[in-house]
Structure 1
Amino acid sequence: MRNPTGRQLRFGAELRKLRERAGLSSTEAGQLLGIKQAQVSNMEAGRVGVSPERVRTIACHYDCSDKALIEALSEMTSERTRGWWEQHRELLPDALPDLAELEHHAQSLRDATTARIPGLLQTREYALEIFRQAVTELSPPDIEHRLSFRIKRQAVLFREEDPTPYEAIVHEAALRMKVGGPTAARQQLKHLLDMSERDHITLRAITFEAGAYPGSGQSIHYAHGPVPQLDTVYLDQAHGLAFLDAEAQLHKYRTLFDRIDAVSLSPEETRSLIGNLMREL
């Protein structure tokens, strides 16, 4: 099997969590399932495929009675095709195709950003300037490849059937930053207004007047899975993307989003703010 994708790794990690909650070692689990310990380890590492029937058998032996979680895990095993992002895996860090895969399968997405417009809402010109300013200088072909990849990721918001529900909370600092110059900045703000008119997209701003608030020092991205246990937080950090899925981490960032919501403008107030900023350019 090829190297497991982020989704396959997550599936294996969830099997491991079920086993550990049952208080079983991998050797004991193998004995219950009638397989070798190495096969249990390979399943939990995402290196081998698992059928929906095997998932239900595992859940039974692990005394898991959460039917919604079991069905969600079974559904993950039935999706064996690899998406468009796989063709980019040799040219990009693995975390980026894994991110596109995560966004593709998410039930809904939430972003909270301070210094930049979220990637899913960036115009081509805005994203181009961001890549040009990368600390590790990118070659023109690399920039073009990353730009193409970012635009393709945005397809989750434009699907004709069931576009992904999306909420973005953007700080006024990011809205005011003239990335790419005044013309590009105005185009970016106009794009935000246009996207905010879509029924499945909610755009909210945080003004400078809000002061400090929990999570203000980082950009937070949250992908909702079919059940809360399969949610994922991903943080865009200087050294790359970090994916978090531990129960305590998910609880922390759900709480952070609730508190960020409390200091955000309404969608209507946000559109008014953006309109005013456009007139200042």
Structure 2
Amino acid sequence: MPDGGVGSTVPLRQLGRLMLEWRNRSGLSQARAAELLEMGATSLARIEKAEITRVRTGVIKEACGIYGVPTDIGEGMVQLAQQAKVKNWWHSYADLLPRNLDVYVGLEAAADGCVTYQPELIPGLLQTEAYDRALLSQRWPDAPAEERDRRAQIKKHRQVTTTRKHHPLDLDVVIGQAALHRPVGGPAVMAAQLRHLADSSTRENIAIRILPFEAGFPGGISMLPFVILDFGAPPPGEPTEPSVVYLEGTVGSMYLEDHDDVRFYHSAHDTLRQAALDETASRNLLRRIAKEYAP
């Protein structure tokens, strides 16, 4: 199974920010810039918001000329457009991935670190195949077996980020104790899932802490699930990708990039982590409950 790559999502986001920045510097409205580029304003807006799957390099070159972008920066923008054309593993599952999750998977594959809180569900990157398939069978009960197999493959591909040899994803997880007691797939599946969590927590790049029932509501509020993706320092000469908070919803998801929003969720995670059991105590609890499921 191939390693997760940077993919097209991050280059498109970086390119969109640069297109917006240099259009604003030029003093052109979106409508006027689109007119000069001989394209619709909606199409230009989609480039600036990274709501497309690829951008023609000719459009970028022309925009750089109109906006007065310096040669070296313009060349970098063209390179970003070229990088965005690279096909990655998740493009093979485009028929199964909704747009919001397609964006998330691309960001996750490129991330340097992932901080997440899941109060009632085992995080996807740490789910066993049996646990995942049990959820899939409930969510898509009428789906043919082939489709379920492909959906299960999506999760396997995503999990490569935590086990790849070079720069595996740093995963810092807080899981609510309720997730350990909500049955998914039966006692044997749950026992194997909790043992898998305990074993995974021994890896250097994975930290798992359980928030026990007796911790109540740290910070005085009930936090919904969230994920923070950090991208680390970029190589010299490449643009920085800011951290992003992902909030998954049943009818739509949100991406928060504002610095104050990201800081709030990092602070919330710190509060949850401090209230949770430490890594050793969490591992012991996981193994104990696993034995209760399957003595």
Deviations 1:49-76 (A, max 9, x none): 569x98xx89x9799xxxxxxxx98985
TM-score (norm 1): 0.78
Change in Cα spacing, 1:222 to 1:113, as seen in structure 2 (3 Å) is same
Change in Cα spacing, 1:125 to 1:15, as seen in structure 2 (3 Å) is same
Q: Which residue of 2 aligns with 1:66?
A: none
Change in Cα spacing, 1:231 to 1:256, as seen in structure 2 (3 Å) is same
Match among 249, 270, 274 for residue 282 of structure 2: 270
**Structure 1, gaps ≥5 residues long:** 64-71
Contact 1:165-1:201 within 8 A present in 2 as well: yes
Paired residues, number? 264
**Structure 2, gaps ≥5 residues long:** 1-6, 71-75, 234-239
Give, as a single letter, the amino acid of the residue that structure 1 aligns with 2:169: T
- Aligned mates of 1:20, 1:232 — CA distance in 2: 24
Q: Which residue of 2 aligns with 1:140?
A: 144
Contact 1:7-1:98 within 8 A present in 2 as well: no
Larger relative contact order, structure 1 or 2 (CA cutoff 8 Å, min sep 6): 2
Contact 2:208-2:279 within 8 A present in 1 as well: yes
Change in Cα spacing, 1:169 to 1:62, as seen in structure 2 (3 Å) is farther
Change in Cα spacing, 1:171 to 1:41, as seen in structure 2 (3 Å) is closer
- Aligned mates of 2:261, 2:19 — CA distance in 1: 17
Shift of 1:93: 1.5
Shift of 1:88: 0.7
Shift of 1:90: 2.4
Contact 1:114-1:216 within 8 A present in 2 as well: no
Contact 1:166-1:201 within 8 A present in 2 as well: yes
Contact 2:10-2:110 within 8 A present in 1 as well: no
SS at match of 1:230: coil
Give, as a single letter, the amino acid of the residue that structure 1 aligns with 2:132: A
Change in Cα spacing, 1:76 to 1:119, as seen in structure 2 (3 Å) is farther
Q: Which residue of 2 aligns with 1:67?
A: none
Q: Note if 1:258 corresponds to 2:262.
A: no
Deviations 1:14-70 (A, max 9, x none): 23663588594446996xxxx74859657424452569x98xx89x9799xxxxxxx
Contact 2:215-2:275 within 8 A present in 1 as well: yes
Q: Note if 1:183 corresponds to 2:195.
A: no
Q: Which residue of 2 aligns with 1:44?
A: 48
Change in Cα spacing, 1:148 to 1:28, as seen in structure 2 (3 Å) is closer
Give, as a single letter, the amino acid of the residue that structure 2 aligns with 1:262: Q
Shift of 1:229: 5.6
